[in-house]
Structure 1
Amino acid sequence: MIHSTGLEALMGLAKRGESTQNISVHHMNATFNLLRTWMSLGSMEMIMAYWRQKPKQKRRRAAAEILKDRDARRTAALAACVTELNRRQGPGRVTHTLVAERVGVPVQYVHWKYPSIETLLAMADTTRHGDD
């Protein structure tokens, strides 16, 4: 029977006179880390304070920041794709569906963001000139 910590497991096996060979390497490492921490902290009060510490929270990005980043990446990918298609096949061959498939975004998104082919071509042209 394996307990919540490796130390409890080893002590339980030793009390019952059972072999400790069935303890996994993970539990042995956990036991070693527990003993090392216990020895470094010293008193029981310090040990309990150490184990009661809450994990540090990562800063969560705001939803608006995430959406802004995604929109910028999508716009850059759409502009690059439209520029490439326009250069290779000409402006008459660029369609919402073709651009969406090549970029990997939903077709509905491209239709919503750029309702006509002219706005799609204008966006690519504006983005290209903005980078120069």
Structure 2
Amino acid sequence: MGNSTKNLRAMIAAKELEKVKAEENLKSNFNSALESLNPINIVKKSILGFAQSTNVINKIIVVTLAGGVGFLISKLIKNNSKAILNKLSTAIIELGIINYISNNKEEIKDFGISLYNKLFKNEQYHENNSSEK
């Protein structure tokens, strides 16, 4: 009879330990769920999801390039002349360049990325090598 009592007590202790672990797990899951429902975290997740979308990033790059080139061309070509022919030719040139950018966005993006890597990654490489010496 002593043996069955020991077994019963061991089983009760095991169940109590299991209960404590389940309670800790439940508390942890509740805190995680509560933290994920925090408005700041919801906004962060939304922004990260939006920023990681390749389609959105490509559109932002194209719009930025087109706007930048349009602005640059208008500053370089346009002068204060009020001649209609001058304004028309400037508008046609702007439209042509913006059309070229939107049709060749992948090549332009690849060129921009490679240029960035050459300018900044190479600089980091030299900084790392000079600090090793």
TM-score > 0.5 by shorter chain: no
With structure 1 as the length reference, what TM-score do the two structures score?
0.29
Which of the two has higher C-alpha Rg?
2
With structure 2 as the length reference, what TM-score do the two structures score?
0.29
Give the number of the structure whose residues are more often helix, by fraction.
Answer: 2
